[in-house]
Amino acid sequence: MRQVVVAIMLAAGPFVVGASLVLADGVGDPTAVKHDDGRYYDKEGNPTFKVQSDGTVDWGTYSGFRRYHSDCHVCHGPDAEGSSYAPALSNYLKTKNYVDFANVVVNGRKNVNTAQESVMPSFGTNPNVMCYIGDIFVYLRARANDAVPRGRPQKHEDKPEAATQAENSCLGHKS
């Protein structure tokens, strides 16, 4: 399975520049133990959030909030709380890791049973999602762990230069 996900992520090519591919099992403890170029990681190497005691969130969480609300909230509801159309992603991330999340976002998913049919479209070619997939994951992980409340984070860290460079590279912008 991991080889399939790696192949899928590699096939997405330029749309995953700046996204961290992590092959950890389970969601584990979300506590940030490593900081690298403005990104935070847990002890398993999964992308994670960092919320300071005054409520200031890391750039990835803030960026993820913005990207989630530009492309995902239409189906999954405000603040990842779900809707009659799609499930709450704040609950989904309680049991899924980055690889599971990325696999569904890149490839989509179709669940059909006698009572309903639910379809998550593929976003593998959408740069507005793929260039920020790590940030969306981090925001949803923060929501799943009740680290950030509903609504726009009031304070956030400054955007790291590495995030600007990754964004420009992924979107094809010249620096």
Chunked in runs of 10, what are the mean pLDDT values of the chain (175 residues)? 43 43 55 87 89 93 93 83 78 84 88 72 88 94 89 92 91 79
Give the Cα separation of 37 and 175 in Å (integer): 18
Q: Which pLDDT score, from 0 to 100, does residue 175 have?
A: 61
pTM of the model: 0.80
Domain count, the chain: 1
Q: Which pLDDT score, from 0 to 100, does residue 23 have?
A: 39
Give the Cα separation of 120 and 167 in Å (integer): 25
Identify the domain containing residue 90 by its residue range.
Answer: 2-171
Secondary structure element (H or E) that encloses residue 109, with its range: strand 109-112
Coil, strand or helix: which one is 102? Answer: helix
Give the Cα separation of 81 and 54 in Å (integer): 24
